């Protein structure tokens, strides 16, 4: 846990020096400076997340935003819908929690749970909560909102689907003894 806290402190330092989403999109040539300024103005007026505004106004795609966020947080981008998530992993988080935080667990390696997050992470509280719920260290990946929502729907469907009945032991086919 000490190692995880040290990483958390480093992440906080990185957070202070990281580029803003609009700067990353601009540097990648995906938006213009004028578009960034328009989005900033809209964000100041509405409080909406800048990534949502870029997508809503068709300045950038959802994929572009997710990749830029991955760059911003130095976190890998993953398309979680391409994974077959193990059944023991899909039961680690309740679906309402996944929907509220736009988080989907995708795999577990020893005591480390890999999750894909599409929602904003304002602080380390959500990772701490995940660690507490799952009793695991958390490895975070970034995904698109639509991929995470689709993966959550797939998980909910799998959880509702009944498991095939367990095989029954063979019935004793010996005829009853005659009196």
Longest dimension (CA), the chain: 98
pLDDT tens digit sequence for 96-143: 999 999 999 999 999 999 999 997 666 678 888 899 999 999 999 999
pLDDT tens digit sequence for 35-83: 999 999 999 999 998 999 999 999 999 999 999 999 998 999 999 988 8
- Entry pTM: 0.75
**In the CATH scheme, what is the homologous superfamily, with its name and number, of domain 80-160?**
Type II secretion system, protein E, N-terminal domain (3.30.300.160)
DSSP assignment, residue 74?
T
User: Nearest CA to 105 among 121, 123, 120, 92?
Assistant: 92
Asked if residues 88 and 108 have their Cβ atoms less than 8 Å apart, the reply is yes
Domain residue limits, the chain: 19-72, 80-160
Q: Report the Cα–Cα distance between both ends of the chain, in Å, rounded.
A: 71
Paired with 105 in beta bridges are 115
Distance CA 127, CA 141 (A): 12
């Amino acid at each position: 846990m000490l190692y995880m806290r040290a990483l958390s402190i480093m992440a906080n330092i990185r957070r202070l020096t990281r580029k803003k989403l609009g700067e990353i999109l601009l540097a990648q040539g995906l938006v213009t400076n004028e578009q960034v300024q328009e989005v900033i103005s809209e964000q100041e007026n509405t409080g909406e997340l800048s990534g949502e505004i870029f997508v809503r106004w068709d300045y950038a795609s959802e994929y572009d935003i997710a990749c830029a966020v991955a760059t911003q947080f130095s976190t890998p981008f993953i398309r979680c819908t391409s994974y077959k998530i193990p059944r023991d992993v899909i039961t680690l988080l309740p679906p309402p929690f996944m929907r509220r935080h736009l988080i989907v667990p995708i795999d577990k390696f020893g005591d480390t749970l890999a999750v894909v997050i599409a929602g904003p992470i304002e602080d380390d509280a959500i990772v701490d909560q995940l660690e507490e719920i799952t009793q695991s260290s958390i490895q975070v990946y970034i995904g698109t909102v639509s991929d995470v929502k689709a993966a959550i729907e797939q998980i909910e469907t799998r959880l509702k689907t009944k498991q095939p009945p367990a095989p029954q032991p063979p019935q004793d086919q010996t005829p009853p003894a005659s009196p």
